[in-house]
Copies of this chain bind each other. A is one copy, B any other.
Amino acid sequence: MSDESQSIITLSLPRTVFIVSDGTGITAETFAHSILAQFEMRFRQIRVPFIDSLDKAHEVAQRINEIFWTDGVRPIVFTTLVDSQTNTVVRKTEGLVLDMFQTFIEPLEIELNLKSTHAIGLVHQNADSDAYRNRIEAINFSLAHDDGQSNKNLRSADVILLGVSRSGKTPTSLYLALQYGVKAANYPLIPEDFIRRRLPSTLDQFKEKIFGLSIDPGRLSEIRNERRPGSKYASLENCRYEVNEAEVMMRREGIKWLSSTHKSIEEIATTILQEIKLEQRE
């Protein structure tokens, strides 16, 4: 086989990428994904979590070497291994090893004039910690206060999301709770509110912690049509009316808001945290 035909075969295969971690590897995977998104080619990402012993390290080393022999190109290997012995095993493989941990630990040790502890399992909050319990409590709170289900304890909400039905309030509330331990209630704006031209009266006293979500009427109509096809609720005309009324109301009441149309949950949550100036719960 000529070199040329071999390179054609190689190009048609997605490059294999390993994410090797002693923990879940979730953060490393997301991070690797964002780096690889900068290259216009296909990758096959394999997350290998819980590599917390030499035996497991040797196993994954073998998998990496096998891919090298099968594919004929070096797999990319992102590692976040705290233990130096397991790390060495993976570094010695045929992969291109990108060490996401040691790369930054070394300059930090010099800058801080302090040795790192090399302790495994410091990444995620301990399930027994207060911070972790707060996070679970925030999830329960956000679930209980989804879609205006309960007016009880709105006082303890960190933020109250406001917007028309299907503007993105629920996923954003849950994300804020899960990721940040933020108690996020959410409250729908319904046609009755537009006729009264007033905020739901329950919310009057909590105006400073309300954040609005709006959405493009065309997109809203699409989303609502998936749920209730052909309904008045989903019609473009009604969506235009509701969105317009909601935006007029939020402007009049001085409520900060953003359009969720082209934003990911992460982008919406980040903007809310900035605007409401919530301290992050750690």
Neighbour of A40 across the interface among B114, B143, B171, CB < 8 A: B114
A231 at the interface (CB under 8 A from B): no
A209 at the interface (CB under 8 A from B): no
A270 touches B26 (CB 8 A): yes
Q: A24-B270, A171-B139, A274-B49 are in contact. Are A38 and B112 (CB under 8 A)?
A: no
A116 at the interface (CB under 8 A from B): yes
- Size bin of chain A's contact surface: 35 or more
A20 to B28, CA, bound (A): 18
What is the CB-to-nearest-CB distance from A187 to chain B, in angstroms, rounded to a whole number?
Answer: 17
Neighbour of A264 across the interface among B41, B111, B124, CB < 8 A: B124
Residue among A76, A108, A125, A175 having the largest count of chain B Cβ atoms under 10 Å? A108
Chain B residues contacting A15 (CB-CB under 8 Å) are 112
Chain B residues contacting A136 (CB-CB under 8 Å) are 171
A28 to B100, CA, bound (A): 11
Q: A39-B117, A126-B264, A174-B139 are in contact. Are A34 and B80 (CB under 8 A)?
A: yes
Chain B residues contacting A282 (CB-CB under 8 Å) are 33, 45
Task: Indicate with 1 or 0, residue by residue over A19-32, a CB within 8 angstroms of chain B CB atoms.
Answer: 00001111110110
B31 touches A27 (CB 8 A): yes
A267 to B266, CA, bound (A): 21
A264 touches B125 (CB 8 A): yes
Chain B residues contacting A179 (CB-CB under 8 Å) are 26
A270 touches B49 (CB 8 A): yes
Interface residues of A in 11-70 (CB under 8 A from B): 15, 23-28, 30-31, 33-41, 45, 47, 49-50
CB closest chain-B residue, reference A97:
B107
A265 at the interface (CB under 8 A from B): yes
- 4 A-B pairs besides A98-B107, A124-B264 with CB distance below 8 A are A23-B267, A24-B266, A24-B270, A27-B27
A-B contact pairs, 8 of them (CB 8 A): A24-B266, A34-B123, A38-B118, A39-B112, A96-B108, A96-B111, A139-B174, A171-B178
The 4 A-B residue pairs whose C-beta atoms are closest, nearest first, are: A38-B116, A37-B122, A124-B264, A34-B123
